[in-house]
Amino acid sequence: MATKDVKISFHTLIQHMWKQKQEDEEKEFPFYLIGDVLEYIGSFKEKDKKKKFYDLRDNKFCFIDFVNKTELNDVDVAYVGVFKSARSDFRPNLINKRTGNERTNPKERSEGDIEKTHFLVKISKINNEVYLFLEKNFMGISSTVFVNYITQFTGAYLNSIDQRRNFHILKTDIMMNNFLTEVERLTRTTLAEVYFDKQLLGSDALNFSNRTVSLKRDIMLTAKASPKESITEVGIDFWNKMQHKDSLISRVRVKGVDENNNSILLDTSLLCKQEFVSVDLDSETGEVNSTQLLSRLQKMAKDF
């Protein structure tokens, strides 16, 4: 049976609160509400499918066909699902590759070929993050479209419970390449986090109380850039310190923007994670096996 290596992109989803006053501090949280939003979308009956439609450019539209909730462990949950998208008002003739013969396309102008984009949303209370695992399908939907779609239905969900949206949803792209190389590519670094072993509190460096048994193993120190400033060098320093023998630093995370103003997350704990999964192709349609791909995503999410 034919197989295909499917590339997966990784992102975090963030809830960025709107300011009430100009001088208010910006606040961001993991977008935990997405679980309720996806369950709301999944509650639509088959006869109401069109209510899930979302219009894109060039006569294209998309919708979440189905979404299911699953437990990854005692704390973390995941929502796995499939987007379907299609382009209408496009009906060119068909040509046979073996014979070269052409014929009229039998589909109606309002019909389009279905493209599937598989996804998994992991809500991790352990890592205090909401992750998006998205199939990279050039003919399907992008992570930007995913966020726009969820934003629209977040508003609809909140309206259904007599609430109003007071935030917008952001995504951050998680890069998997060489950490130092990716940091140096950032045009601006806005945040750097360093995680170190709690035993540092009782060391000669800090000389804190040794009563740290009840603390988590790792303690986080956060450095934030001043407005319009960059702290790239701070992130590089954290990375270099981590490379030292017997270093108590266990993890470094850096957030910033690239030359295209895309939000980027770099995390040393995620380096070298698998970006491709191999799945079977349907012998009749050439489509990937959805059950197999979603199962691969779940395994990937458990190890993430």
Extents of the domains making up the chain = 1-171+280-304, 177-272
- Residues 194 and 269 sit within 8 Å (Cβ to Cβ): no
Number of Cβ within 10 Å of residue 138's Cβ equals 6
Residues 6+ apart with CB under 8 A from 241: 194, 247, 249
Quote the pLDDT of residue 214.
Answer: 46
* 26: exposed, middle or buried (Cβ count in 10 Å: 0-12, 13-18, 19+): exposed
3 state SS of 287: coil
Quote the pLDDT of residue 199.
Answer: 58
Strand ranges inside 21-110, DSSP E:
28-30, 54-55, 60-71, 77-87, 94-95, 102-103
Cα angle 248-74-117, degrees, rounded to a multiple of 5: 95
Quote the pLDDT of residue 174.
Answer: 87
Residues 6+ apart with CB under 8 A from 246: none
Quote the pLDDT of residue 206.
Answer: 47
As a whole number of angstroms, the distance between CA 222 and CA 195 comes to 9
Number of Cβ within 10 Å of residue 243's Cβ equals 9
Pair of tokens at residue 109: 């102008």
- Residues 155 and 165 sit within 8 Å (Cβ to Cβ): yes
- Residues 97 and 57 sit within 8 Å (Cβ to Cβ): no
Quote the pLDDT of residue 205.
Answer: 47
Judge if pTM exceeds 0.95: no
Residue listed under structure tokens 């079977």: 280
Closest Cα partner for 168 from 16, 30, 25, 26? 16
Mean pLDDT for each 10-residue chunk of the chain (304 residues)?
89 91 82 97 94 92 96 94 92 91 90 93 92 92 95 96 94 83 89 76 49 58 89 89 82 89 85 78 91 93 86
